[in-house]
Amino acid sequence: MNAKTKIASSDDLKNLIRDVPDFPKKGIIFKDITPILKDPDALRYAVNELSILLEEFQPDQIVGIESRGFIFSPILAYKLRAGFIPVRKKGKLPAETIRTSYQLEYGESELEIHQDAILKGMKVAVVDDLLATGGTSKAAIHLVEKLGGQVAAVAFLVELTFLKGREKLRGYNIFSLVQY
């Protein structure tokens, strides 16, 4: 009983994304992707397009960043017959981790990855829902490389081009399906 939308292009995805003004705080227009997620055809289209972009790299592992980054990365791991590696906020992963800190708009935060998550030389794709300033992705890339992994590609559903995150990720293969 889901609504039937016809999804045949990235513009159709873009049309589903909802602007939420003043979230998470005054003056920010939040790009809400949940209308894509709840639409089976749109979810399917987005996953298939991201999969096409990544498959040529034959990643061994797909890295996803807590929490919204956990949505597309496990599906792509399944679809590309890769494994899924969670990168989480400090204190959430149970076994031995390595850690990196990164800048937020105000202050700093820390991300962790399990020490045994990635073997030296493994090909890794980092997947997240949104490329904004690139700080979080850069931190995840740093963790993968510290473990000896090779970041073959970084893919996003949505890219906010005006925040120039792509510049911070220069030298990597960067992909996004929907741009603002």
Residues that bind its own copies (CB under 8 A): 1-2, 18, 20, 23-24, 30, 32, 34, 37-40, 43-44, 47, 60-61, 66-68, 70-72, 74-75, 77-79, 81-86, 88, 91-95, 114, 117, 119, 121-123
How far is Cα 174 from Cα 56, in angstroms, rounded to an integer? Answer: 14
Catalytic residue among 105, 108, 167, 170: 105
Nearer CB in complex with its own copies: 18/164 = 18
Residue 59: closest CA among 45, 71, 43, 73: 73
68 is catalytic: yes
Nearer CB in complex with its own copies: 28/164 = 28
Nearer CB in complex with its own copies: 166/180 = 180
How far is Cα 104 from Cα 123, in angstroms, rounded to an integer? Answer: 28
- Nearest approach, Cβ of 170 to its own copies (angstroms)? 27
- Nearest approach, Cβ of 164 to its own copies (angstroms)? 23
Residue 62: closest CA among 126, 14, 153: 126
- To 5 degrees, how large is the angle CA 82–CA 16–CA 48? 25
- Nearest approach, Cβ of 61 to its own copies (angstroms)? 6
Side chain identity at 10, as an amino acid letter? Answer: S
How far is Cα 42 from Cα 57, in angstroms, rounded to an integer? Answer: 24
99 is catalytic: no
**β-pair partners for 127:** 64, 155
How far is Cα 179 from Cα 26, in angstroms, rounded to an integer? Answer: 23
Catalytic residue among 49, 56, 66, 68: 68
Q: Are 42 and 16 in contact (CB under 8 A)?
A: yes
Nearer CB in complex with its own copies: 50/169 = 50
- Nearest approach, Cβ of 167 to its own copies (angstroms)? 27
Show which residues are catalytic. Answer: 68, 105
